[in-house]
A and B are shown apart, each in its own frame.
Chain A
Amino acid sequence: MKTEMKKVYLDNMATTPVLPDVRRAMLPFLTESFGNPSCLHEWGDVPRDAMEAARRQVADLIGGNPEEIIFTGSGTESNNMAIKGLAMAQQKKGKHVVVSAIEHFSVLNSAKTLEKWGFEYTTVPVDKNGVVNPEDVRKAIRSDTILVSIMQANGEIGTIEPIKEIAKITKEKDILFHTDAVAATGNIPVNVKDLGVDALSLAANMFYGPKGVGALWLKKGTRIMPLLDGGIQEGGRRAGTENVAGIAGMGKAAELARVEMKVRMENLIKIRDYLIKELPLKVSHVIVTGHPQNRLPGHASFCVEFIEGESMLMLLNAKGVGVTSGSACTSRALQASHVLLALGLPHEIAQGSLLFGLGTDNTKEDIDYVLEVLPPIVERLRQMSPLYSKFLKQEKGE
């Protein structure tokens, strides 16, 4: 008889699973409560009430006011809306934007689009752990700078950025500050007032909510140009009939994240630190990427030298382990991760990237399983790697 293979999902930075309570909160809006929340009859009342309840739940998670929450279709949409929408609304004041080198593509490519629209942007570097130096942000700010966007935590290397310190500078200079908190929100404490930002992006599927729903928190009184023209949903800032089921799910997920955060974090940090400590002991020539301590609770990322990430993740998949990589081969653009290159890692090392996104379902046994199956996979790929044989020959020669 064939025994069931062990399955270990460790790709929670790609998406988390949907919690049962979240799914339950969504189902009525896919069945009997199908109405359009813009409608004034009773079919519209129930979904409208659900949306407003979710708005409060999301606001509570980040310490904002419900009327400051704009529901969107994803973290990517929130970032696009913040960068393009805030810049366009302020273009009379200036046409310069500052971002970091390790932003998500939804921020970087939005900045590139602004460039085509006649804006300019400056990219601030990061150190070898992926940390932005607030003084570099200060130096990048010009008299015509209107917006700074630095992520709260990086999804690829887990590093948490000094948002509060950067906010002091933007406040002093009277410039809007947006933070992409998609990877952070729901996983670490995020409080918009405490951070001192003007806009913040989040996405439900990073904290056990559904895919296809995100939000932009926008400080009261901040002007923004909508991306979509249409009706007056979301106060006229995001047209289109709302994804009510998704929004209800996001609300429930936000509530659970707020209530359970401390316990989740404690458990995740324990198994994360175990993986970060043990993997380099089991496999030689492994580099931990991102900040060693100041990183997302469930985030462990590495570069395994002399081999390539996609082949590692495929062999891990054959063992029932789901992970991801920032290698060129895994990206459709066939370019090594801009984040890993920004850390100063050479291409051949960046190609060996391996990213573990641990979630609330994971246990120490899951990590032990990875520590058992990964070393032979690495060994096998190294045995067929020309880079490894070159390295061995060099070692012998010395």
Chain B
Amino acid sequence: MPIYSEKVMDHFTNPRNVGEIENADGIGEVGNPVCGDMMTFYIKVKNNRLEDVKYKTFGCGAAIAVSSMVSELAKGKTLEEAMKITPESVVNELDGLPTVKHHCSNLGAQALHAAIENYKEKQKAGGQKNG
């Protein structure tokens, strides 16, 4: 039996929302090549909702599938809802991950949350945008 679920393989082989957003409202970068995975998430915010979510990922099959799933889960959500996306929920949505790959799901949620935090900081520092 392959180590990954069909859903992981689907997101790994056809990752959704890959790319960068020019003039993104928030950027979150987590991980480093030492642990094996790096993710950069880009978000576009409109009316307190994640209008667009994109990412670039350096990492294994699980890291890529997690990035794809997180982007899909987050898109269209309010910032508060998106902050509630947990590593566990990502793993569940992917029909599970091998135990040794669970840290990848942490990274995915962290990168998204870091992008939202980055957006909020910019808001504080640079005045209002779109309410």
* A385 contact set on B, CB distance < 8 A: 56-58
Q: Could you tell me if A386 and B13 are in contact, using CB atoms closer than 8 angstroms?
A: no
Is B93 interfacial (CB-CB < 8 Å)?
no
Query: CB < 8 Å: which of A307, A327, A330, A384 contacts B15?
Result: A384
Q: Could you tell me if A334 and B29 are in contact, using CB atoms closer than 8 angstroms?
A: no
Q: Could you tell me if A336 and B36 are in contact, using CB atoms closer than 8 angstroms?
A: yes
Residue from the set A306, A307, A334, A384 with the largest chain B CB neighbour count within 10 Å: A384
Q: What 7 pairs across the A-B complex have the smallest Cβ distances?
A: A329-B60, A348-B33, A328-B36, A310-B60, A386-B56, A386-B40, A329-B36
For the complex with contacts A329-B37, A336-B36, A389-B20, 13 further pairs of A-B residues with Cβ separation under 8 Å are: A308-B59, A308-B60, A310-B59, A310-B61, A311-B63, A314-B60, A334-B36, A348-B33, A384-B64, A385-B58, A386-B29, A386-B40, A389-B56
Q: What sequence of 0s and 1s flags, for each residue 287-323 of chain A, a beta carbon within 8 Å of any chain B beta carbon?
A: 0000000000000000000111011001100100000
Q: Could you tell me if A308 and B36 are in contact, using CB atoms closer than 8 angstroms?
A: yes
Residues A386 and B38 in contact in the complex (CB < 8 Å), given A310-B60, A311-B64:
yes
Is A332 interfacial (CB-CB < 8 Å)?
yes
Q: What sequence of 0s and 1s flags, for each residue 207-246 of chain A, a beta carbon within 8 Å of any chain B beta carbon?
A: 0000000000000000000000000000000000000000
* A328 contact set on B, CB distance < 8 A: 34-36
* B38 contact set on A, CB distance < 8 A: 386-387
* B19 contact set on A, CB distance < 8 A: 384
Assign chain B's interface to a size class. 20 to 34
* A330 contact set on B, CB distance < 8 A: 60
Assign chain A's interface to a size class. 20 to 34
Is A383 interfacial (CB-CB < 8 Å)?
yes
* A315 contact set on B, CB distance < 8 A: 13
The distance in angstroms between the C-alpha atoms of A318 and B61, with both chains bound, is 12
Is B83 interfacial (CB-CB < 8 Å)?
no
Is A347 interfacial (CB-CB < 8 Å)?
yes
- What are 11 sample pairs from A and B whose C-beta atoms fall under 8 A apart? A308-B36, A310-B60, A311-B12, A311-B61, A329-B36, A329-B59, A329-B63, A336-B36, A347-B32, A347-B34, A388-B58
Is A205 interfacial (CB-CB < 8 Å)?
no
* A154 contact set on B, CB distance < 8 A: none
The distance in angstroms between the C-alpha atoms of A315 and B60, with both chains bound, is 11
Q: Could you tell me if B58 and A306 are in contact, using CB atoms closer than 8 angstroms?
A: yes
Is B114 interfacial (CB-CB < 8 Å)?
no
Closest-CB distance, B75 to chain A (whole angstroms): 17
